[in-house]
Amino acid sequence: MGDVVQFKRPKPSQVHTGNTLCRSGFHKWEILNDRQFDVKQGKLVTVYQCKRCKKIKSKAL
């Protein structure tokens, strides 16, 4: 007979880590790429990524 593996349910704090703030619009943005050039706009573009939910946004300078 095989080994019995006990499964432990994750705590709600572990399941919803950071999601409540991001759903309310309070992302924690950090710069993903320092300098990136957009050929179509002819501008430098900064790419941001949220630390918690990994959402990406870009902003032209």
- Report the domain count for the chain: 1
pLDDT bracket for residue 18 (50, 70, 90) = low
Q: Give the span between the Cα atoms of 57 and 55, in whole angstroms.
A: 7
Residue 40 lies in a domain: yes
Structural domain including 37 reads 28-61
Residue 38 lies in a domain: yes
Q: Give the span between the Cα atoms of 47 and 1, in whole angstroms.
A: 53
Residue 13 lies in a domain: no
Position 5 scores a pLDDT of 83
Position 14 scores a pLDDT of 78
Residue 16 lies in a domain: no
How far apart, in Å, are the Cα atoms of 23 and each of 6, 26, 27, 29, 40? 33, 7, 8, 14, 32
Question: Tokens 């320092």 sit at which residue?
Answer: 34
Residue 8 lies in a domain: no
